Chain A
Amino acid sequence: MLMPIFNILIFPGLLFLFFFSLAAEFFDRKLGARLQNRVGPPWFQPLADFIKLLGKEDIIPEEADNRVFKLMPVFALTSVSCAFFYIPLWGKNALYSFNGDVVVVLYLLTVPILTYFLGGWYSRSVFSMIGAVRSLTQLFAYEVPLFMTILAAALLADTWSLSKMAAFYSAHPGYWVFNILGFVIAQITLLGKLEKVPFDIPEAETEIVAGSFTEYSGRLLALFRLSINIEMVVGISLLAAVFMPWWLDAGPIAGFIIYVLKVAALISLVSLLRSLFARLRLDQMINLCWRVFAPLAFLQVIINLILKGALFK
C-alpha cells in the first residue's frame, strides 16, 4: 500500500521529478552559457529562482479572469507530471501502463500548451494575447510531425503502450535504427513544444515581452516555469524511451545512470540547437513544419508500415 504512494510522491515520482527538472534546467542553462562563451549560473540557481519566485507577490491584472488565471499553472503542472508515470525510464516498465498510454502521454504533453494559451488569453494584455495565439498556431504546426514520428515507432512495435514498445525494441535490438529519421524530426519539433530557440516564437522577448507569461508573477509564474522544466524532462524522456531503447536490462542502478546520460545527451542537443540558430518567424516555422517535417514524418510512417509487412509476415 505504501509503495505506490512512495512511488508517486517521492521516487521516481513528484519529488524526484522536481529536483531532476531543476537539474535539467541547470544543465541546459550552463551548457548554453558555455557554448555562448559565458560563465553560466551556479548549480543551485534554478532552485534559488524557484524559491525566490515563491516568495514574491502574486499580481493578477484587474481585467484578467481570476479563476482561469490562477488555475492554468496548476493544470500545466499536473498534466506534465502525470505524463511522467507512463513513460518507461530505466527498465522496460513504466510505473503505470495500459494499452493506449502512448496517445495519452502525447495528449498530456499538449495540455500545457493549451494552458499557456488560456492563461495568456485571459490575462487580457496585448502581449499575452499575441503570445497565446502564437502558442496555439505553433502547436498545430509541430504536433502533426511529432505525433506521426512517435506513432510510427509504435506501429513497428505493433502496440499502443510505451512499456510494451520498450519491451519490443529490447527484444529486437537494432530495430531502433529504422526510426532514426523520426528521431531527428521528433527532436527538432520537440523544440517547438518546449518553446526554445529557434521555435521560441510565442515568448520572443524582443517582440512580445514574455508572451503568455507577461502578466504572470510570483507563485503562479514559479509553477509555470516548473511545468516548463518538467515538460522538458518528460518530453525528452519520452524521446529517450521511444527512440533510444538501449541497455534497458542493466538493472536499477546502472539503468538509472544510463537514463540520466540519455536525458543529458538530448538536453545537450537542445542547448546546441538553441545556440546555433536565430529565432524563426511564425510563418517560416509553419512552412518548415508542414512542408519539410510533416512529409518526412509521413515517410517514416510509410517506411515502418512496409517494414512491418516485410519483417512480420
Chain B
Amino acid sequence: MHNTGDVKVPIGPQHPALKEPESFLLTLRGEKITAASVKIGYNHRGIEKACEGRTYIQDLYLIERICGICSHSHSTAFAQAVEEIAGIEIPARAKYIRTIVAELERVHSHLLWLGVAGHEIGFDTLLMYTWRDREVVMDILAQLTGNRVNYGMNTIGGVRRDIKAEQIPQVLKGVDTLEERTKYYIKIAGEEPTLINRLSKVGMLSYEDAIRMGAVGPTARASGVQRDVRKDDPYAAYADIDFKVITHNTCDVYGRTIVRVLELMESFQIIRQLLAKLPEGPISVRAPRKIPVGEAVSRYEAPRGEDLHYVRANGTDKPDRVKVRAPTLANVQAVALMLEDRYLADMPIVVAAIDPCFSCTDRLVSINYVDHNSKNTFEWEKIHRDSIEWYKKRGIDFAKLNKTF
C-alpha cells in the first residue's frame, strides 16, 4: 500500500471532466497538486495539410469544420486573409452580417461555457439553465444561417445569405430574452456563496504572467490585460461599433466568469447596434477562382481569444500554405502554471476556465492508413474492412461474436 508520498493521477485522454481528448498528468500530495504537465495533440486531423490540396472554396468549408463552437471564427479569419491577398473589398452589408453572426456565436459560446463551468464544480443546475437559454441563440442562428453550428455563412467575397427585414424583430426579441436571463446569471455570480467560494482565488494568473505566457481572450482580460483584437486590430464592422473591452482584475476563475457574463451583455448591445445600422446593398462580390501570389495574416477575436490565420497563395486555385493558430494553444500553457499548488478539486474548473477547444488547437494529421492511389482519401468500406482486420489480428473476430448472440 503506497499511502505515503506522491500519487500520479492521469486525467485524460478520456476523462469525464474533459469534453475533448487531451491529457494532464498531475502529481498529487494528498489533495494538493505539486506538479502538472499537459499533453495535447489527440485531435490532430491534418487540416493544414489537407488545405494545400483543395481549392480556396473547399478550404473555407474544411476550415469551418475545425471546431464546432467557433466555426464562424475560423471561416471568417480564413476568408479575410484570402480576400486581402486577392485585393477584394467586400460590401459593407456583408461585413455587418459577418459581425452579427460572430457576436451571436460569441453569445452561444459563452453561455455554453457558463454551463460547462457549472458542471465542473458540481453545480448542474447552472448547466441545465444556461443550456436551456442557449437554445434561444441557437434558434436565432438557425433562423439566420440555416444551421445551428457550422453556419456556412461565409464565402470568399462576402456572405451567402442575407438577413431579411422581417427577421430583425425576431432576432431582437431573442436578444432581449437572453439579456434578461444574463442579468439573472450576473446576479447569481454575485450572490451564490458556494459558487463564489469555489471560483475565487482559484487558478491565479497574475497580470505579469498573463503577458509573459501570452494569454489571450477572456483568460488574459480577467488578469487585467487589455487585449481584444476587435479593438486592437478592427476587422469586419467592428470599427463602426461602439463597445467596451471588459476586463477584471481578480486574476482568478471568478474573474474569468465575470468577464464572460459581462461580455455577453456587450455582445447584446453590439448586435442591436449592428442591426440598427445594417447598410443596404449587395452581400457579396465575385471572387476570382485563382488567387494571385501573396501572403496575409488575419486576426480574429474568437470567443476564446485571438485566432490567427496565415495564408500564402501561389497564383493557383489552391493555397500554398494555411496556418491556423487557435486561441487555446496560446492559453493552454498557462494552465500548468495555474494548477500548481492548487487542489485536485480545482483542476476541472481551472482547465475549463480557459474554455479549451482542443479540436481548434490540434488541427493536423493522424492519418493511419495512407492509400496513395486514391489521393489520400479513404472509402468508408475500406475503413470498415481495415478495422475488422485490425481486431482480427488481435484475436477478436466480430463475425464469430455475432453468431454467438
Contacts and interface: CB of A to CB of B under 8 A. Distances in A.
- Asked if A and B touch directly (CB within 8 angstroms), the answer is yes
Given A130-B9, A206-B17, A278-B192, A283 B122 contact: no
Nearest to B127: A36
Given A36-B124, A275-B124, A283 B343 contact: yes
Nearest to A205: B16
Nearest to B118: A278
B129 A126 contact: no
Nearest to A210: B16
A278 B345 contact: no
B16 A275 contact: no
B122 A200 contact: yes
Contacts of B15: 209
Contact of B344 (A205, A207, A277, A279): A207
B346 A281 contact: yes
Q: Which of B1, B7, B15, B31 has the most CB of A within 10 A?
A: B31
A279 B121 contact: yes
Interface stretch (B193-201, B235-243, B391-399): B193-201
B123 interface: yes
Contact of A282 (B17, B126, B132, B345): B345
A277 B125 CA distance: 8
B382 to A, nearest CB: 33
A37 B132 contact: yes
Contact of A278 (B28, B121, B129): B121
Contacts of A207: 17, 344-345, 347-348
Interface string A24-41: 000000000001111000
A281 B16 CA distance: 18
Contacts of A37: 128-129, 132
B385 to A, nearest CB: 29
Contacts of A278: 118, 121-123, 126, 192, 194-195, 198
Contacts of A239: none
Contacts of B195: 278
B272 interface: no
B161 interface: no
Contacts of B122: 197-198, 200, 204, 206, 278-279
A81 B343 CA distance: 36
Contacts of A275: 124-125
B120 A206 contact: yes
Contacts of A200: 122
Interface in B1-57: 1, 7-10, 15-17, 28, 31
A257 interface: no
Given A36-B129, A279-B198, A283-B31, A130 B344 contact: yes
Nearest to B343: A281
A101 to B, nearest CB: 35
Contact of B194 (A35, A127, A134, A277): A277
A275 B15 CA distance: 24
Interface string A156-200: 000000000000000000000000000000000000000001101
A48 interface: no
A49 B132 CA distance: 26
B119 interface: yes
A197 B127 CA distance: 14
Contacts of A283: 31, 343
The size bracket of the interface on A is: 20 to 34
Contacts of B9: 126-127, 130
B121 A38 contact: no
B128 A38 contact: yes
Interface string A130-161: 10001000000000000000000000000000
A38 B16 CA distance: 21
Contacts of A197: 122-124
Contacts of B346: 281
Contacts of A284: 197-198
B19 to A, nearest CB: 10
Nearest to B198: A278
A201 interface: yes
B192 to A, nearest CB: 7
A47 interface: no
Contacts of B123: 197, 277-279
Interface in B343-362: 343-348
A280 B197 contact: yes
A66 B129 CA distance: 43
A130 B7 contact: yes
Interface in B99-121: 118-121
B335 to A, nearest CB: 15
B123 to A, nearest CB: 4
Interface string A201-227: 100111111000000000000000000
Contacts of A134: 31
Contact of A126 (B10, B31, B125, B194): B10
A10 interface: no
A265 interface: no
A302 interface: no
Contacts of A205: 16-17
A179 B128 CA distance: 36
Contacts of B120: 206
Given A279-B122, A283-B343, 12 more contacts: A126-B8, A129-B7, A130-B344, A197-B124, A198-B122, A206-B16, A209-B16, A278-B121, A279-B194, A279-B345, A281-B345, A282-B31
Closest 4 interchain pairs by CB? A279-B122, A278-B123, A36-B128, A206-B17
Interface of A: 35-38, 121, 126-127, 129-130, 134, 197-198, 200-201, 204-209, 275-284
18 contacts: A36-B128, A36-B129, A126-B8, A126-B10, A127-B9, A130-B7, A130-B28, A197-B122, A205-B16, A206-B348, A207-B17, A207-B347, A277-B194, A278-B122, A279-B121, A281-B197, A283-B31, A283-B343
